[in-house]
Structures are given as C-alpha cells and as structure tokens.
Chains A and B, each alone.
Chain A
Amino acid sequence: MPLRLVAPEWSLLVPPLIVLGTIVLLLAIDAVSERTARRFALPLALAGQLLALGSLASIDWGQGATTFGVSYRADWFALVVSLIALVAGILSVLVSAGYTESGLEPGVGLAEYLALLLFSVLGTMVVGAAGDFLVLLLGLEMSAVAVYALTAFARRRLTSVEGALKYFLLGAFASAILIYGMAWIYGLTGSIKLSDIAYTLRTVVIPGQPVDPALLLALLLLAVGLGFKIAAVPFHMWTPDAYQGAPTPVSAYMSVVPKVAGFAAVARILVQGLQPLSDQWAGLLALLALVTMVYGNVVAIAQRDLKRMLGYSAIGHTGYMLAGLAAFTTGLAGDRSVGSVLFYLFAYTFMNIGAFGVIAWLQERGLGTTLDDVAGLAGRAPLAALTMAIFMLSLMGMPPLLGFYAKYYVILALIEAGQLWLAVAIVVMSAVSASFYLRVITQMYFQEPGGTWRPVRTPLLGLGLAVMAAATLALGLVSGPILELAQRWPAALT
C-alpha cells in the first residue's frame, strides 16, 4: 500500500501562523535595519496579535476539528487558551512600551524582545491545542525557553541573570521529569496521543480496584514536572527570584502566560489523557492546592518588595486554580472544574499584568519596587493609585471586581463536587491575602509620599493600564458569556 500523505487542514492553523508570521517579520526587519525595527516593532507586534485574535473568529471551534492526525486540536479548550494567551500577549506588549523605550540596554534589540514574547504566546497557543505529548511538549518548551531569555534581558543586572539561571535550571530539570513521566505513559499505553491514552486507560483502570503502581509512578512524575511549570509548592523555588529579578514587564508577562501554558498542559494531560485516573490525581491536586495556597499567601505577608510579594501571591493564586482543577469529578454532569480554572486564568491575566504594569509605570517615574515607593501615590497620581487599588482588591477577591467572580466560580465548582474543605481553605486564605494586598492600598492612600518623582509621559502603558482596570471593573458583570465559553470544554474531550 503506497504511503498517503494527508495535507494538514491549514485553516485551523491560521491564528498561530499569524503570530509566527509576525515573529518572522519582526526578526527580518531587525536584521535589515535596526532603526526601522525600533520604530515599527511595537505597533507590528500589537497588530499581529490583534489580527490573530480576530482570526480566532474564522474557525468553527464547536466542531472540535483536528489536523496532523489528532495531534493538533481546534476545540473549545484550544480557543479559550489561545484567547487568554493573545490577550495576555497584547497587554504585555502595552506594559513593555515604556521599558523598551528607556530601559533596554544598548545592543539589545527591541525586535528580539518582542519576538521572544510572541514566541512564548505562540507556544502557549500550541499547548492549548495539543492533541499528543509531543506537540504539547513542543509548545510548553517554546513558551518556557523564550521566557528564560526574557528574564535575563536586563543582562547587566545580577538579579536578572540570577533569576533567569534559577528559572532555566529548574525549568529544564522539570521538563526532564515531565518527559520521563510521558515516557512511562507511552510505555504503559503504547501511545502518545491523549485520546488513545484515555481509551487504553479506560480498559485498564477499574474503579475501586488498585491501580498499577507503574501508572501511579508515571502520574507522580507528570505531576512533579507540571508542578514546576505552574509554580506549585514545593516546586516553586524559582518564582520569587525570577519575578523580582526580571525586568518588570517581563515579570508581568511571566506571571501569567507560562502559567496559562502550564495549566493548559495540566488540563490536557490529566483531564483529557489521564481522565480514568482522576480519582488518583484529583486528590493529589487537592493536596498540592492546599499547600500551595497556604504557603504563597502566608509568605507573601512578609514581603516588602512588591514584585516579590506579587511572586508569592502568584503562588497563592496557583493554589486557587489547582483547587479548581481538583474539583474535577468523572462523570459529573456540567462539571465546572476546568471552566472555572480557565475563567480564573482569564481574570488573572488582567489583574496581575495590571498590578505589574503599575509597578512598571512607577519605575518609569524613577521609583523603586518596594512598599515605600508606593507611599502617598494617591496624592501624587490619583489615577495610578486607583488603578493599583482596583487590581489589589480584585486579586483579594472583592466583589464586584473580576477576581471575585473567578474565585466564586472556583468555590462553586468545589462545592458542587462536594469538596467543602478546599472552598473554606480558599476563603480563609483570601482573608489572609487581604492583609498584604491591603498594605499596598494603605501605603498609597494613607501615607505621605517619599522618593524622587520624575514625571514622564507613557501613553501606551497608560492605555494598557486603563484597559486592564476597566476590564477588571466591568468584565465581571458580564462574565456569563465568558464563563459559558470556558464551560464548553467537555465537548472537546471525546
């Protein structure tokens, strides 16, 4: 029988291809003329991502079409992940606007910076659409490697290099463990395709019967590898250093998009591939969630550096999202777990990039990143203080801000799944987190300003902050359609 090559369905690949095209264009322009690149790179990166965002509408995601065999899936889950990644990418470019004008070191191109950022977005989109282990790993690494480089972008600053090195070493280590776990699964099921793995496992795993220890080992290896990627405790060691060391716009980006990629990988691997093992991994995730949210929130209390505090708070939020996934119960009609996590990631994108964005905004004005630097901000720049207050309150989970809805949906998923104790843990940790988020507001509103203040104009950054603040304020009120979109994932996993 002659070998027949099936042409891939290119139309499904339009959004990632647009992003790839933008990257190629960016690098090409940079190679030809660095001056042209400096002028046009930023608008180009924005336009490319906006175009990709628009092109998401061209695909009928409801069909759950696949291409390259089943290796690339264009289902609802892929749509939501692509949506979040692109929105986060656009916002990160806006947040980078000030940094790339004044903070870039000589000899380091703006185009490179943006190309790396877009590579990471592309990688995340690929993870979301992955139908087998290889594509998933490809996307995950594409997303991560670009961010390692971005972390070290302030290459003359020791903390930047240190953070990047820690991030890279631990990340590489985690990838190895992850791949090892995948190899075990491949060995046990004979496939790297997620749908095949689920199919095989369904015949092997019988509810109520003890599970093959080899499968459990594989599961554990996967969990450890993925735990590093999403910065769950005890695999979180790289986070605070990386967040603090990286240039602030990179921290903003890094706190969100690699996390999206990580959670997309967790959902694809565990919920889709290892669904028959859900009794085993749900318990594991619940435990990780509890440890992660407690550790992140408690340690964040002691931080005086805002970026470090947000780093620990990001760990806390990872815990909430893990709790959402732990609510997954096989066969529960209208399961909300993955939907609630996707919504959380969506909400988190705005409020966390926003919070880092305000810090970047302050740095443009000659201030540092500690709590003392935001003192009296309300008197100096009332709008910036208000914006920051909105992000802090939203991260805290105050209604009617977006973060409240995110937390609400996670709690709802948990209680519907009967995991009341995790829901209680979330609200208790929210109360704990209020103490350090509130401290930022207290500093901004109740203290007198200090430090030198250099007024500059940063229109693009300002625009980005305004968009994020408005989204954080208002999107919650119309969260129904977004949530509904995020809820459609089960249709994708057949």
Chain B
Amino acid sequence: MEQFPILSVITYSPLVGAVVLFLWGNAPARAARWIALIASGVSFALSGAMLLAFDPNQASMQFTETFEWLPELGIAYRLGVDGISAPLVGLTTLLTLIAVIASWDPIRYRVREYYITLLLLATGMLGVFVSLDLFLFYIFWEIVLIPMALIIGIWGSANRVYAAVKFFLYTLAGSLLMLVGIVALYQEYFQQTGIRTLNVLELTQGNYSPTFQFWAFLAFFLAFAIKVPMWPFHTWLPDAHVEAPTAGSVILAGVLLKMGGYGFLRFNLPLFPEATQRWAPAIVVLSVIAILYGALMALVQQDFKKLVAYSSVSHMGFVTLGIFALNQQGLSGAMVVMLSHGFVTSALFLIVGVLYERAHTRELAAFGGLARNMPVFAAFFGFFALASLGLPGLSGFVGEFLALLGGFQSYRWAGVLGTTVVIFAAWYMLRVYQRVALVRAPGEPPDPDDPELRVSLAHEVPPVAGGGDVEHHTPDPRTFPDVTWREALTLTPLALLTLWVGVYPLPVLELIELSVRAILAAVTGENM
C-alpha cells in the first residue's frame, strides 16, 4: 500500500515556502511573512497529526519512506521516526512557527530573504531528525549551518559577523571529522558483511572492534559535543546567542542544541556500545563541569541574553549527564530535559526579545520595576523563570529530576554535584527576575517608605533628571508598554506545554519509553 509520505511533506513544506519566496522576486514584506506562516503552519499541523498517529507501543521506526538513491554506494533516501525523533520533530515545527510569528515585527530589514533563510533552516533541522541514512543525515546536518550563520550574520546585532563566522567554523570543524567517521563505518561494515549500506538501522547491527569503536565514537562525539555544546566546546554559544536576533536564538537554543543530544542517542550509543561504556565516565565528568560552569557563569552575567545562553550550557549538561548515565531514568530524563529546555529557554529568549524591542539593550542594569507597567510580561517571565530553575510541577523539574536520578544511580557523586546546581539556578534566575521585574528602575527616586533604603538615603547622590549612565542611551523602562497580543501568542503555547509536561508527563514518557529501552538494550547488550 502506498503510504502518504507524511515525513517528507513535513520536512519539505518549509522548503516549498522558501522556493515560492525565492521565485517571487519582489514579494512585499507582508506577503513574505504570510507565506512563511503558511509554510511553517502546514509543517506544524502535519507534525501534530503525525504525533497523534504515532504508536507508542511500537519500538521500531514509523512512517518510514525508502527510495533508492545511489544504490551502488548503499545510499538511499530513508526517513522514519521513533519515540526519540518524533517529539523533536514536533518541537522543531512548533518553534519554527513561533519563530515566524516572533519575527513578524522585529525583522524589518530584507524580510523576504530572512524568511527564505528561516524556512531553509527549518527543512534542514527536520531532515536531521527524520533521516535514517547517514549520508542523508550528514547532508541535512550541514545544511543547517548555512542559514543559521546567515541569520546571525545578517539580522544579528553589533558583533554579528564575528559570531556568525565563529559559529560556522566551530560546528563545521566538528562535523567534518564525523564525515570521516561515517565513511569509515561504512567501510568497516562492508568488510564485515559484504553489504554496502549507510542505513543507520542496519549499521547498528554490526559488530565493530573495540579500537574501531573507540575512534569512530570520538569522530561522531566531537560533532555532537560541539553542537550541544558541552564544556569545553561551548565557547561559540554565548557569542552566537547574544548576536542572533530573537527568533534565531529561539531556534538555536530550542532545536539546534537538541541536534547534538539527538545525535548521541541515535548514533553514538547504538552504533558504538562498547566505546560508549568506555567513554561514559569521562563524558559524565564533562557534563557535570558544564552544569556547574554554566550556572556559575550565568550568575555573573550583566547581559540578559548571555545569562540565558549560559543557563543553556548548564541545562544541556543535564542532557548529556542523563544520556551517559546509561540507564532508563537518565535517558528518559535527558529526552524530557531536551523538550523542556526547548519550551522554557526558547520562551526566555522570547522574553529577552520583548525587552530588547522596547529598550534596544539587554543590559540588566537598564531595567527595573517592569512588573508595574508590564504585568502580563512579568507573569510570563516569572512563570518561565520558575520553570527554568526547576520548580516542581513544571516541565524542567520532571526532566532534571529524572536525569539526576539516572546520574545518581550510575555515578553517585555526579548526581550529588548536579543537584547542588539547582540552587545556583534558583539564584541566578530569581536574581534576574528581581532585577528586571521588581527593583526600582534606573533613575527612579527611591521609595521613601522603604525602611531599608532610608539608611542609605543620606549618602546617595540625589537623582538628577535623566540621571544614570544607562539612561542616556535607553528609554525609561517605566514607559514600556506591556506585551502585544502577538508576543503573547508566541509565549502562551510554550507556557501551556511547560505546564502540561510538568503536571502530567506520562504521555511524553510513554512516547519515548520503548525507544529509550531499545537504545539501552543496544548499549548494555541486554534484552528488553
């Protein structure tokens, strides 16, 4: 029976939008926005249908499509999703749609080109998650680089070119070694079985020598570790995030980082089980360092966006910790953290974007007291800040708890160290919330009824009209309007998902469970 190629349609509908925009040379900005909205909307709707039709009681790949491409080299067009990739496909289409809406007003420069780039990026990311052929996977993996670098480099802020080039070169360097790994794997499998193939599912059946596994694991690992990014490969991330436009940051944090985690789960673990066991302790150490380092760095940032970027490093540390704990809880936790991080950090970047639209700065010192004139904004901000620090009942808690539990089972010290970081997370998140939403705005006269302030009042220089340094450049935060309906529209679905996964994570856990078990069985060699 000829099946409807739903994965191809999900993957290529953004591309179709991009091609339409490309051919329509003088498309007005309005039309460009609408075409992008329709293209990403179709992709999103279909991925929703795909998730509903997905059978969680089946560990094998679903909605598979196969089409011979370069048969002599064992390369075919193979698509399919399992419990690992299906939720990530859903996350990608959702965040793409949100990115399209979030760029509606802020992007006013070369709008048509912007949406072409964004839609190409979407196709690349979706292709990464649905490919079951290493060659195809690699193509999509590299395609993602170009539009992302363009989005940072053209529509970013002051230091954008540096950040774009750094991002590009860093990730390219990582992935090129993976290419050698892919070809070496292909050759190794051919020598063993006499079959030329790059089918991931077939290659996982191979039995590779420990030495080969050791090096091939490393070649794949580097590519994914840079993408995640793990400490010490993370240095491109703060730059890229700070310079990227809001939607770029959303995609970068929400989806691109997940490509690394996904790569570990799909390739490193099942392909090289023995090497995974050998490398796992070292990677757990790196993960714990990332968790600690990200949190400590977030604590001292003066730039709001950089703070969120470093918190990402910390959160992604939980992902790698969970994965390389190599147990059921750890892997499930890693998956949930990836999804949760996709909702929450993307939302936090949207929140930074909301502020940037009004103040044209991200310096924390420029804000204060926003809860007064932006109550809806403050509510959203507070909600996502709490979700980010891992408040029980919200999605971040579920994932981090499971990941830490897994980590604790395998490496007690890692679990202990990782857990302490939750305190730091609360510290930096609440601090930034206080700075932005609660304390008085710069230049605002102190409240004479405040007993704490009365003491220092005598020594303080009286506020001059147009007072502090910051105020020369930035408008008064007391005049900021609250979130627009479009901004609220981008934040609401993320808030609902965060709440849903936090309160009732069972459907998500069920969705991923069998696939996680299959991976674990491949690594530990035990039967399910």
Task: Write the residues of chain A forming the contact surface with B, with a CB cutoff of 8 angstroms.
Answer: 382, 393, 398-400, 404, 408, 411-412, 415-416, 420, 423-424, 427-428, 430-431, 434-435, 438, 442, 445-446, 479-480, 483-484
A393-B146, A434-B172, A445-B150 known, 20 other contacts, Cβ within 8 Å: A408-B183, A411-B179, A411-B183, A412-B187, A423-B180, A427-B176, A427-B177, A427-B179, A428-B176, A431-B173, A431-B176, A435-B169, A438-B165, A438-B168, A442-B153, A442-B161, A442-B165, A445-B154, A480-B71, A484-B72
Check if B69 is an interface residue, CB within 8 A of chain A.
yes
Check if B489 is an interface residue, CB within 8 A of chain A.
no
CB distance from B202 to the nearest CB of A (A): 18
Are A480 and B143 closer than 8 Å at their CB atoms? no
Given A430-B176, A431-B169, A438-B169, A416:B164 Cβ within 8 A: no
Contacts of A435 in B (CB 8 A): 165, 169
Contact with A along B181-225 (1 / 0, CB 8 A): 001101100000000000000000000000000000000000000
Are B179 and A408 closer than 8 Å at their CB atoms? yes
Contacts of B150 in A (CB 8 A): 445
Check if B142 is an interface residue, CB within 8 A of chain A.
yes
Are A412 and B183 closer than 8 Å at their CB atoms? yes
Of chain A, the residue at the smallest CB distance from B174 is: A431
Check if B464 is an interface residue, CB within 8 A of chain A.
no
A393 to B150, CA, bound (A): 13
Contact with A along B115-150 (1 / 0, CB 8 A): 000000000000000000001001100110110001
Chain B 250-295 residues near chain A, CB threshold 8 A: none
Are A446 and B154 closer than 8 Å at their CB atoms? yes
The 5 nearest A-B residue pairs measured at CB: A399-B139, A427-B176, A431-B173, A480-B70, A446-B161
16 A-B contacts (beta carbon < 8 Å): A398-B142, A398-B145, A408-B135, A411-B180, A412-B183, A415-B186, A423-B183, A424-B180, A427-B179, A431-B173, A442-B164, A445-B150, A445-B153, A446-B154, A446-B164, A479-B70
Of chain A, the residue at the smallest CB distance from B135 is: A408
CB distance from A289 to the nearest CB of B (A): 16
CB distance from A311 to the nearest CB of B (A): 23
Looking at the complex, which one of B71, B138, B161, B187 makes contact with A416 (CB distance below 8 Å)? B187
A431 to B171, CA, bound (A): 10
Contacts of A427 in B (CB 8 A): 176-177, 179-180
Check if B73 is an interface residue, CB within 8 A of chain A.
yes
Of chain A, the residue at the smallest CB distance from B152 is: A446
Are B176 and A420 closer than 8 Å at their CB atoms? no
Are A399 and B172 closer than 8 Å at their CB atoms? no
A424 to B222, CA, bound (A): 14
Contacts of B146 in A (CB 8 A): 393, 398
Contacts of B164 in A (CB 8 A): 442, 446
Are A415 and B187 closer than 8 Å at their CB atoms? yes
A224 to B160, CA, bound (A): 47
A438 to B149, CA, bound (A): 10
Task: Write the residues of chain B forming the contact surface with A, with a CB cutoff of 8 angstroms.
Answer: 69-73, 113, 135, 138-139, 142-143, 145-146, 150, 153-154, 160-161, 164-165, 168-169, 172-173, 176-177, 179-180, 183-184, 186-187
Contacts of B177 in A (CB 8 A): 424, 427
CB distance from B409 to the nearest CB of A (A): 38
Of chain B, the residue at the smallest CB distance from A396 is: B172
Contacts of A398 in B (CB 8 A): 142-143, 145-146
Contacts of A408 in B (CB 8 A): 135, 179, 183
Are A412 and B138 closer than 8 Å at their CB atoms? no
CB distance from A346 to the nearest CB of B (A): 15
Looking at the complex, which one of A420, A446, A483 makes contact with B180 (CB distance below 8 Å)? A420
Most interface-central of B142, B154, B177 (chain A CB within 10 A): B142
Of chain B, the residue at the smallest CB distance from A398 is: B142
CB distance from A363 to the nearest CB of B (A): 25
Contacts of A411 in B (CB 8 A): 179-180, 183
Are A446 and B160 closer than 8 Å at their CB atoms? yes
Contacts of A404 in B (CB 8 A): 139, 142
Contacts of A438 in B (CB 8 A): 165, 168-169
Given A415-B187, A420-B180, A399:B142 Cβ within 8 A: yes
CB distance from A482 to the nearest CB of B (A): 11
CB distance from B197 to the nearest CB of A (A): 13
CB distance from A85 to the nearest CB of B (A): 25
Looking at the complex, which one of B69, B113, B143, B187 makes contact with A399 (CB distance below 8 Å)? B143
Are B168 and A400 closer than 8 Å at their CB atoms? no
CB distance from A399 to the nearest CB of B (A): 4
A435 to B176, CA, bound (A): 14
Contacts of A415 in B (CB 8 A): 180, 183-184, 186-187
A262 to B143, CA, bound (A): 34
Are A431 and B160 closer than 8 Å at their CB atoms? no
Of chain B, the residue at the smallest CB distance from A429 is: B176
Of chain B, the residue at the smallest CB distance from A443 is: B161
A427 to B135, CA, bound (A): 16
Contacts of B173 in A (CB 8 A): 431
CB distance from B144 to the nearest CB of A (A): 11
Given A400-B139, A438-B168, A446:B176 Cβ within 8 A: no
CB distance from A115 to the nearest CB of B (A): 40
Given A393-B146, A400-B139, A415-B184, A480:B69 Cβ within 8 A: yes
A480 to B143, CA, bound (A): 21
CB distance from B141 to the nearest CB of A (A): 8
CB distance from A367 to the nearest CB of B (A): 21
A404 to B146, CA, bound (A): 14
CB distance from B255 to the nearest CB of A (A): 19
A446 to B69, CA, bound (A): 37
Most interface-central of B153, B165, B169, B180 (chain A CB within 10 A): B180
CB distance from A72 to the nearest CB of B (A): 30
Of chain B, the residue at the smallest CB distance from A420 is: B184
A423 to B179, CA, bound (A): 10
Of chain A, the residue at the smallest CB distance from B70 is: A480
A150 to B69, CA, bound (A): 42
CB distance from B370 to the nearest CB of A (A): 33
A445 to B147, CA, bound (A): 12
Contacts of B187 in A (CB 8 A): 412, 415-416
A479 to B173, CA, bound (A): 25
Contacts of B145 in A (CB 8 A): 398
Given A415-B187, A442-B161, A480-B72, A431:B180 Cβ within 8 A: no
A400 to B164, CA, bound (A): 21
Contacts of B138 in A (CB 8 A): 399
CB distance from B114 to the nearest CB of A (A): 12
CB distance from A77 to the nearest CB of B (A): 19
Of chain B, the residue at the smallest CB distance from A383 is: B25
CB distance from B115 to the nearest CB of A (A): 14
A434 to B161, CA, bound (A): 15
Contacts of A446 in B (CB 8 A): 153-154, 160-161, 164
CB distance from A301 to the nearest CB of B (A): 12
A420 to B185, CA, bound (A): 12
Of chain A, the residue at the smallest CB distance from B150 is: A445
Are B179 and A412 closer than 8 Å at their CB atoms? no
CB distance from B268 to the nearest CB of A (A): 19
Are A431 and B165 closer than 8 Å at their CB atoms? no
A424 to B181, CA, bound (A): 9
Are A400 and B176 closer than 8 Å at their CB atoms? no
Contacts of B168 in A (CB 8 A): 434, 438
A471 to B142, CA, bound (A): 19
Most interface-central of B69, B70, B135, B153 (chain A CB within 10 A): B70
